[in-house]
Homo-oligomer: A and B are copies of this chain.
Amino acid sequence: MSLVRVHNFSVSLDGFATGEGQSLESPFGHAGERLHRWAFQTRTFQHMHGNAAAGGTGVDDAVAGTWANGIGAEIMGRNKFGPQRGPWQDHEWNGWWGPNPPFHTPVFVLTHHSRPPVEMEGGTTFHFLEATPKEALRLAREAAGGLDVRIGGGPTVVRDFLAADLIDHLHIVVVPIILGRGERLWDGLEALEKRFTIESVTTPSGVTHMTFTRSAASTSDA
């Protein structure tokens, strides 16, 4: 059974999953690194960026490290892919991640502006498409060959997939900061908790991991 999963998705206490004012220098706007510091400190993250020996191996790392297991494709929003808006101007831009992105699968970037696919090193290919969550998921499932599909964010994309009831596993990380402005995750999702079984655990870094697991026998694998 192929699941649709969200991992390591950090939100502030006031519900913002990214700050205001994204730019090339500030992928998360005024939030800076504050939402993701817990993740940067893990071995999973350090390893992903070539520092094989660095990073903690505690509970934060154990939870963070499940993000790639059994994933066959990712769907992400255009703002996760880069800071450009409107028609593509800079065709040299291939994401924040350098020549060998950490995905190593097909990645479907949702955008209103078409662009040819880009094949990167290490098995990542970026496909650009305009599609509803359901259509995008159908394509990603085909590409995933029976493996799971990850919804990579940003907040608008995660929210849209939750609203369409297409998420089976949602891992969010509540970070005890008040961002005040940016993009909210929870808007329009009243009573979301009724569709999930929720577990929470606080770790010594100060964050709270919450897993939302689809409760019903039904899944998104229709």
Query: Which residue numbers of A lie inside 8 Å of B, CB to CB?
Result: 13-15, 174, 176-181, 184, 186-193, 198-202, 206-208, 210
A189 nearest CB across to chain B (Å): 5
Given contacts A14-B186, A178-B190, contact A208 B206 (CB under 8 A): no
| In the bound complex, CA of A180 to CA of B202 (Å) | 24
- Copies of chain A in the complex: 2
Given contacts A174-B174, A177-B193, A202-B202, 7 further A-B contacts (CB under 8 A): A14-B15, A174-B208, A176-B210, A178-B192, A180-B188, A180-B191, A199-B206
The answer to whether residues A178 and B201 also contact, given A13-B15, A14-B186, A186-B13 and a CB cut-off of 8 A, is no
How far apart are A196's CB and chain B's nearest CB, in angstroms? 9
Decide if B189 touches A178 in the complex (CB within 8 Å).
yes
Please give, as numbers and ranges, the residues of chain B lying within 8 Å of A200 by CB-CB distance: 176, 202, 206-208
CB neighbours (8 Å) of A178 from chain B are 186, 189-193
| Contact between chains at B206 and A198 (CB < 8 Å) | yes
A60, chain B: closest CB distance, angstroms: 13
Residues of chain B contacted by A206 (CB below 8 angstroms): 198-200
Closest B-chain residue to A185, C-beta based?
A: B14
| Distance A106 CA – B190 CA, assembled complex (angstroms) | 38
- In chain B, what residue has the closest Cβ to A179? B190
